[in-house]
Structure 1
């Protein structure tokens, strides 16, 4: 069985990453791809207990202090330092919902999210108002997260 996403976080840095930060795994796409600002990555852990059952990305004209009712968030503006809208990732861990098993970010020049088999598009450009490519988020309740083959390099 595919382990669902249990927790979400963000990693923010002045340098490209994402950086190794156990127990988190991170999507490799920077939410500010092509527009400058901070390097921001979405992190996740997988576990069958209390999984994420809903995820969304919401844009605002000004910074927010609290998530929408019944949602969790990191409070991180995914557009930090790039201008444009304030965009936040929000999610719910709710009983009875279908667990989210995978997330995907697609940078593209397409103004609408293209269909990707096994995934549902979230119709929110993560670069809204900042220029650069469109970054479309997707989630799945059937496709497993792609495990990354990570190489740890050591100085000799």
Structure 2
């Protein structure tokens, strides 16, 4: 849940909630906003998503997600970012047992540990404050077993229904094209895991086909004048560890991730268009 004032903070504290001490409006102005969570053995939360436009809200509501009906930018302006959660029971649904927040790329790289994953949505999106990202720890280690991309609200809803997690950042942000999101599906079975990801332009596709990679059909630059870009994945790279974690980062954060030893696909997702560099 979210607290917007001292009275709400006191209530959460008295009722067994854990407070994340970072103000979600840090350096953005507005009221103090804090995230709280509570642990227990009954009906754990298994997925957390964010919305920042009306069709994202509609899709999450239609698929049974619960809205925390409070503005994360209370008094600060910016995108209308809302927090949603889901309690599921499929193979894709592993309980979330702990939450944390990061405020910069160096902080990000320190938090990448087994069982943890990062939301790509900047909780200060459009508000001008510090970058703030939510981190979630799973009860058990999960692996990425499928990846998709979607350029329409209908297919977005269908993927949520099938247990996919959406990377909550529009790949076409500020490019003039349609909203495009990457989705991934998780499993606890390491044998089903994806072991390598690539992004291609047209000139590289034949090599990837010969190497046994599978193509994700959606053009990540669809509707723009940019270079067509496609995701490719492979599951049988025995010399590579299973992928446990996928996110999208701002181009300014790339160097910090590379220095920390992470596998970063060095391709601007808005290649040769005017969109947000990531």
TM-score, normalising length: structure 2: 0.42
Correspondence for 1:32: 172
1:113 and 2:254 matched: yes
- Alpha-carbon distance, 1:99 to partner: 0.3
Larger RCO: 1 or 2 (CA < 8 Å, sep 6+): 1
**Partner of 2:248: helix, strand, or coil?**
strand
| Structure 2 portions without partners, runs of 5+ | 1-139
2:266 is aligned to 123
| Deviations 1:67-110, CA, capped at 9 Å, x for gaps | 632101222110000121000000101152310111111234x4
1:56 aligns with 2:56: no
Give yes or no for contact 1:14–1:38 (8 Å, CA) kept in 2: no
TM-fit CA distance, 1:66: 10
More strand as a share of residues: 1
Bigger helix fraction: 2
- How many positions carry a matched residue from both structures? 130
Within a 5 Å distance, the mapping from 1:95-114 to structure 2 comes to 96=238, 97-108=240-251, 110=252, 113-114=254-255
SS in 2 for 1:5: strand
| SS of corresponding position for 2:232 | strand
Measure the CA separation in 2 of the matches of 1:11 and 1:79.
Answer: 11
Gaps of 5+ in 1: 136-156
Please list every run of at least 4 consecutive aligned residues from structure 1 whose deviation after the TM superposition is greater than 6 angstroms.
Answer: none
TM-score (norm 1): 0.71
Contact preservation (8 Å) 2:149, 2:183: yes
